[in-house]
Amino acid sequence: MAKKKRTPEEQTIDPAAQQMLIYADELGISTAFTRADNLAPCNIGSTGMCCKLCGMGPCRLTKEGQTGVCGATIDTIQARNLVRAIAAGSAAHSDHGRDMAFTLKAVANGETEGYTIRDVAKLRNVAANYDIPIEGRVPEEIADELADLYISQFGQQRGEVIVTKRAPEKRQKIWAEQGVIPRGVDREVVEALHRTHIGDDQDPEHLLSHAIRTSLADGWGGSMIATDVSDILFGTPAPILGEANLGVLKDDMVNVVVHGHEPTLSQMIVAASQDPEIIEYAKEAGAKGVNLSGICCTANEILMRQGIPAAGNFLHQELSILTGSVEAMVVDVQCIMQALVGLAEKFHTKIITTSPKVKIKGATHIEFHEERALSTAKDILRTAIDNYQNRGTTKIPNIREKLIPGFSHEYINYMLGGSYRASFRPLNDAIISGRIRGVAAIVGCNNPRSKQDYLHTYVTAELLKKDVLVVETGCGAIASAKLGFLLGEAGLEKVGPGLQEVCETVGIPPVLHMGSCVDNTRILTVLTQMVEEGGLGDDIDQIPAVGLAPEWMSEKALAIGTYCVASGAYVIFGGSSPVSGMPDKVSDSDEVARYLSQGWEEIYGGKLEFIPDPDEMIRKTLGHIDKKRADLGLSEYKPERFGRSGDARMVELEELPLSARREAIYGVAAD
Ligand code: SF4
Ligand code: MSK
Q: Which residues make Cβ contacts (< 8 Å) with residue 517, sequence separation at least 6?
A: 93, 223, 261, 297, 443, 473, 474, 556, 557, 560
User: Which ligand is nearest the CA of 478, by number?
Assistant: 2
d(CA 461, CA 430): 20
For residue 653, the model assigns a pLDDT of: 62
For residue 418, the model assigns a pLDDT of: 61
The answer as to whether 289 is a domain residue is yes
d(CA 477, CA 106): 32
2 has pLDDT over 60: no
- Write the DSSP assignment of 169-219 as a string of letters: HHHHHHHHHHT-S-S-HHHHHHHHHHHTSTTS---HHHHHHHHHHHHHHII
DSSP class of 466: T
Task: List the one residue out of 107, 183, 181, 118 whose CA is nearest residue 147.
Answer: 107
Neighbours of 265 (CB within 10 A): 24
**Rounded mean pLDDT, 570-575:** 96
189 has pLDDT over 50: yes
Determine whether the shortest distance from the Cβ of 479 to ligand 2 is under 6 A. no
275: helix, coil or strand?
A: coil
249 and 287 inside one domain? yes
495 and 561 inside one domain? yes
517 and 432 inside one domain? yes
459 and 384 inside one domain? no
Neighbours of 375 (CB within 10 A): 14
453 and 339 inside one domain? no
For residue 646, the model assigns a pLDDT of: 52
What burial letters (b/e) apply to 466-487, b meaning 16+ CB within 10 Å? bbbbbbbbbbbbbbbbbbbbbb
Q: Ligand 2 centre and the CA of 444: distance in Å?
A: 6
Determine whether the shortest distance from the Cβ of 556 to ligand 2 is under 6 A. yes
The answer as to whether 174 is a domain residue is yes
The answer as to whether 664 is a domain residue is no
What burial letters (b/e) apply to 523-545, b meaning 16+ CB within 10 Å? bbbbbbbbbebeebbebbbbbbb
Q: Ligand 1 centre and the CA of 183: distance in Å?
A: 29
Q: Which of 44, 52, 56, 62 to mutate to test the pocket of ligand 1 (most atoms within 8 A of CB)?
A: 56
381: helix, coil or strand?
A: helix
CA distances from 620 to 541, 570, 610 (A): 16, 10, 11
By DSSP bridging, strand 254-260 and strand 438-442 are unpaired
Residues 416/530, Cβ–Cβ less than 8 Å: no
442 has pLDDT over 70: yes
Determine whether the shortest distance from the Cβ of 444 to ligand 2 is under 6 A. yes
610 phi, psi to nearest 5 deg? -110, 115
**Rounded mean pLDDT, 88-92:** 98
258 and 392 inside one domain? yes
Residues 447/552, Cβ–Cβ less than 8 Å: yes
265 and 386 inside one domain? yes
Residues 39/2, Cβ–Cβ less than 8 Å: no
**Rounded mean pLDDT, 511-536:** 95
For residue 305, the model assigns a pLDDT of: 95
Determine whether the shortest distance from the Cβ of 296 to ligand 2 is under 6 A. yes
**Rounded mean pLDDT, 23-46:** 95
Expressed as residue numbers, the domain containing 191 is: 74-234
Q: Minimum mean pLDDT among 97-111, 195-209, 319-333, 573-587: which range? A: 573-587
d(CA 437, CA 530): 15
Res. 515 pLDDT band, cuts 50 70 90: very high
**Rounded mean pLDDT, 340-345:** 98
**Rounded mean pLDDT, 27-53:** 94
User: Which ligand is nearest the CA of 474, by number?
Assistant: 2
Q: Report yes or no on whether pTM surpasses 0.85.
A: yes
For residue 639, the model assigns a pLDDT of: 85
**Rounded mean pLDDT, 27-32:** 97
Q: Ligand 2 centre and the CA of 600: distance in Å?
A: 26
Q: Ligand 1 centre and the CA of 45: distance in Å?
A: 14
For residue 659, the model assigns a pLDDT of: 72
Q: Ligand 2 centre and the CA of 484: distance in Å?
A: 20
The answer as to whether 173 is a domain residue is yes
340 has pLDDT over 60: yes
pLDDT per position as a tens digit, 279-297:
999 999 999 999 999 999 9
**Rounded mean pLDDT, 239-260:** 97
The percent helix, strand, coil of the chain (3-state, each to 5) is 50, 10, 40
Res. 650 pLDDT band, cuts 50 70 90: low
User: CA 256: distance to chain centroid?
Assistant: 23
Handedness of CA 269, 273, 278, 281 (dihedral sign): positive
Residues 227/237, Cβ–Cβ less than 8 Å: no
Determine whether the shortest distance from the Cβ of 523 to ligand 2 is under 6 A. no
Task: List the one residue out of 508, 510, 520 whose CA is nearest residue 445.
Answer: 520
The answer as to whether 663 is a domain residue is no
**Rounded mean pLDDT, 599-618:** 97
The neighbouring-strand residues paired with 365 are: 353
Determine whether the shortest distance from the Cβ of 333 to ligand 2 is under 6 A. no
For residue 493, the model assigns a pLDDT of: 80
Pocket residues: Cβ below 6 A from ligand 1: 51-54, 56-59, 68-70, 72, 77, 198
Determine whether the shortest distance from the Cβ of 312 to ligand 2 is under 6 A. no
Q: Of 401, 434, 469, which closes a domain? A: 401
Q: Ligand 1 centre and the CA of 366: distance in Å?
A: 41
461 has pLDDT over 50: yes
105 has pLDDT over 80: yes
Task: List the one residue out of 336, 334, 364 whose CA is nearest residue 352.
Answer: 364
411 has pLDDT over 60: yes
User: Which ligand is nearest the CA of 520, by number?
Assistant: 2
671 has pLDDT over 50: no
Which bin fits 336, alpha (ψ -120 to 50), beta or left (φ > 0)? beta
Q: Ligand 2 centre and the CA of 33: distance in Å?
A: 16
For residue 580, the model assigns a pLDDT of: 86
Task: List the one residue out of 466, 611, 477 whose CA is nearest residue 544.
Answer: 466
For residue 587, the model assigns a pLDDT of: 44
Handedness of CA 248, 251, 257, 263 (dihedral sign): negative
d(CA 376, CA 268): 9
**Rounded mean pLDDT, 543-559:** 98
For residue 507, the model assigns a pLDDT of: 83
633 and 532 inside one domain? yes
H or E segment to which residue 28 belongs: none
The answer as to whether 659 is a domain residue is no
583 has pLDDT over 80: no
d(CA 262, CA 59): 37
222 and 117 inside one domain? yes
335 and 436 inside one domain? no
Tell me how many degrees the CA angle 243-24-315 measures, rounded to the nearest 5. 45
Tell me how many degrees the CA angle 464-465-466 measures, rounded to the nearest 5. 90
By DSSP bridging, strand 545-549 and strand 326-331 are unpaired
The answer as to whether 598 is a domain residue is no
d(CA 575, CA 480): 18
625 has pLDDT over 80: yes
Please report, rounded to a whole number, the percentage of residues in the chain having pLDDT higher than 90. 84
Looking at per-residue pLDDT, the higher value among 651 and 454 belongs to 454
330 and 213 inside one domain? no
pLDDT per position as a tens digit, 303-322:
999 999 999 999 999 999 99
Q: Looking at this protein, which amino acid is placed at residue 580? A: S
Q: Ligand 2 centre and the CA of 651: distance in Å?
A: 43
Shortest-distance atom of ligand 2 to CA 557: 2
For residue 652, the model assigns a pLDDT of: 63
**Rounded mean pLDDT, 593-597:** 96
Number of domains making up the chain = 4
Q: Minimum mean pLDDT among 115-129, 429-443, 655-669: which range? A: 655-669
Please report, rounded to a whole number, the percentage of residues in the chain having pLDDT higher than 70. 94
Give alpha helix (H) positions in 418-548: 425-433, 454-465, 474-482, 497-506, 520-533
Q: Ligand 2 centre and the CA of 86: distance in Å?
A: 15
CA distances from 460 to 435, 465, 630 (A): 17, 9, 23
**Rounded mean pLDDT, 45-51:** 92
Res. 584 pLDDT band, cuts 50 70 90: low
**Rounded mean pLDDT, 145-174:** 98
Q: Ligand 1 centre and the CA of 441: distance in Å?
A: 37
586 has pLDDT over 60: no
By DSSP bridging, strand 511-513 and strand 468-472 are parallel
Q: Minimum mean pLDDT among 46-55, 379-388, 477-486, 498-507: which range? A: 498-507
The answer as to whether 479 is a domain residue is yes
42 and 79 inside one domain? no
User: Which ligand is nearest the CA of 81, by number?
Assistant: 1
CATH number of the domain encompassing residue 248: 3.40.50.2030
72 has pLDDT over 70: yes
Res. 64 pLDDT band, cuts 50 70 90: confident
Sheet holding 545-549, edge to edge: 511-513, 468-472, 438-442, 545-549, 570-573, 607-610
Which bin fits 110, alpha (ψ -120 to 50), beta or left (φ > 0)? left
CATH number of the domain encompassing residue 90: 1.20.1270.30
